[in-house]
Amino acid sequence: MKFSTKAIHTGEEPNYEINGEVVSPIHLSTTFARRDPEVPAKGYEYTRTSNPTREALEKKLASLEEARFGLAFASGLAAETSLLLSLLKKGDMILASDDLYGGTRRIFESVIKKFGVEYRTVDLTSEVSLESLEPEPRLIWIETPSNPLLKIIDIASLSRKAHKIGSMLVVDNTFATPYFQNPLKFGCDVVIHSTTKYVSGHSDTLGGATVTNNEELFEKLKFHQNAVGAVLSPFDSYMTMRGIKTLSIRMREHEKNAIRIAEYLTNRSEVERVYYPGLEDHFNHEVAKRQMKGYGGIVSFTLNLNKEKIRRFLRNLRYIALGESLGGVESLIEIPSLMTHASIPKNIRDLMGVTDNLIRLSVGIEDIDDLIEDLENAFGGI
């Protein structure tokens, strides 16, 4: 099956023994009755452990990443925390790329550090040697494209280096989605998603996922999914599956609009710099071209305007809403330093390049002429 067919049919095959529904039903029951205390009915016991609707989604997510195993969690951060708790122990080190969603960095800094797990961040966009690192990282964690600077990291090259020193590579694939990038094919060990974003796509349901081909790792993750209990509810599993059915057409439209907006911004005098991996002058455009099938729908840019003018520009927008999150059908704009990345201290943000004049735009699938007009009017009114 090709991508769009899998997005629609995997996990939702009609059950001809019952009613033949073409849409997988929402199984709300938290518990499953059995005739024999030693034999669970059809394998289900309790919804935290497994649930037919969540399983349908997990199967769909795995198939879209061309992977063997998928697990769904209550949010992207719940998936991340479960993964970290399953893999790490006291004394372990995480090596993370320097540009990451603020909430992920917050888990490293404020949640797992107190259990004796350390982390350090490095710019992994250029060739770096991992062999001299002391202590050797147990886990390498990257986003590519990254949030919010759209940095691109060569997954195949980093996978080889990670495995050489006995580390695992985790790739957060939220920005690219499985439609534009399959990191497991390039050798990484686990893929993470915030399905809250493009995967569900309508800004109406939270969710997260881990996907892997490694059976031993999957068993560990599955154990922790149940033991920690941060699972996705049956209703949210249904909502996520509903969104996935249009993932391919949405991603094509997001990208088409994002390219137009990146080009438009490049020509505005108020714009200092545009970050979009589809632009030929992007630092790792060639790597993006090699490992991605498309460049996605997020465009970041810096403005050469003072704070008051930036606020006026944002207030002048009519369709593009000022708000956190990304990946929905509606366009959303934000200032990372004040919003999604505010939990990172200013000195570190400035070092990362997440400066106070940086804007992140999640380009929706509205008509592109309206979006350009919206930006044009907002610039015109400052």
Ligand X SMILES: Cc1ncc(COP(=O)(O)O)c(C=O)c1O
For residue 76, the minimal CB distance to ligand X (Å) is: 2
- From the list 6-14, 99-107, 223-231, 303-311, the region that binds ligand X by CB under 6 A is 99-107
Is 18 exposed, middle or buried (CB count within 10 Å of its CB: 0-12, 13-18, 19+)? exposed
Question: Beta-strand (E) ranges in 66-201?
Answer: 69-73, 93-97, 118-122, 139-143, 168-172, 190-194
Of 104, 119, 183, which is closest to residue 145 (Cα–Cα)? 183
Which of 103, 187, 323, 353 touches ligand X (CB under 6 A)? 103
Among 12, 92, 154, 172, binds ligand X (CB under 6 A): 172
CA atoms within 13 A on the CB side of 218: 13
Considering only residues 60 to 89 of the shown chain, the ones binding ligand X according to CB under 6 A are: 75-77
Distance linking the first and last C-alpha atoms of the chain: 51
Number of residues that bind ligand X (CB under 6 A): 14
The verdict on whether omega for the bond into residue 135 sits within 30 degrees of 0, i.e. cis, is yes
Give the chain's radius of gyration (CA, Å). Answer: 21
What is the DSSP-derived secondary structure letter of residue 120? E
- Sheet containing strand 271-275, strands side by side: 271-275, 298-303, 358-362, 332-334, 321-322
**Half-sphere CA count of 273, side-chain side, radius 13 A:** 13
Q: Is 6 a residue of the active site? A: no
266 class by beta-carbon count within 10 Å (0-12 exposed, 13-18 middle, 19+ buried): middle
Annotated catalytic, 48? yes
Residue 99 within binding range of ligand X, rule CB under 6 A: no
Interface with ligand X, residue 233, by CB under 6 A: no
Cα atoms in the 13 Å half-sphere on the side-chain side of 154: 15
Q: Tell me whether residue 40 or residue 103 sits nearer to ligand X (CB atom).
A: 103
CB of 201 to ligand X, least distance (A): 13
The answer to the question of residue 181 lying near ligand X (CB under 6 A) is no
**Which residue type, as a one-letter code, is found at position 76?**
G
Q: How far is the CB of 173 from ligand X (least distance, A)?
A: 9
Instruction: Tell me which of 92, 172, 189, 236 is the catalytic residue.
Output: 172
Binding string to ligand X for residues 202 to 221, with x set by CB under 6 A, is what?
----x-x-------------
Of the candidates 6, 98, 101, 154, the residue annotated as catalytic is 101
Selected from 58, 92, 143, 374, the binder of ligand X by CB under 6 A is 143
| Residue closest to ligand X, measured at CB | 76
Q: Is 183 in the site for ligand X (CB under 6 A)?
A: no
Among 51, 86, 125, 196, binds ligand X (CB under 6 A): 196
The reply on whether position 323 binds ligand X by CB under 6 A is: no
Contact present, 364 and 257 (Cβ < 8 Å): yes
- Nearest CB to ligand X, comparing residues 149 and 162: 149
Is residue 222 annotated as part of the catalytic site, yes or no?
no
Footprint on residues 252-281 left by ligand X (CB under 6 A): none
Residue 223: Cβ within 10 Å count: 12
334 binds ligand X (CB under 6 A): no
Candidates 29-37, 54-62, 100-108, 112-120; binding stretch for ligand X (CB under 6 A):
100-108
Within the chain, residue ranges assigned H as helices are: 3-9, 52-64, 76-87, 102-106, 155-164, 177-180, 215-228, 234-244, 247-266, 285-291, 307-316, 346-352, 368-380
172: annotated active-site residue: yes
Per CB under 6 A, 40 contacts ligand X:
no
Residues that bind ligand X (CB under 6 A): 75-77, 101, 103-104, 143, 147, 172, 174, 194, 196, 206, 208
Active site residues per annotation: 48, 101, 172, 197
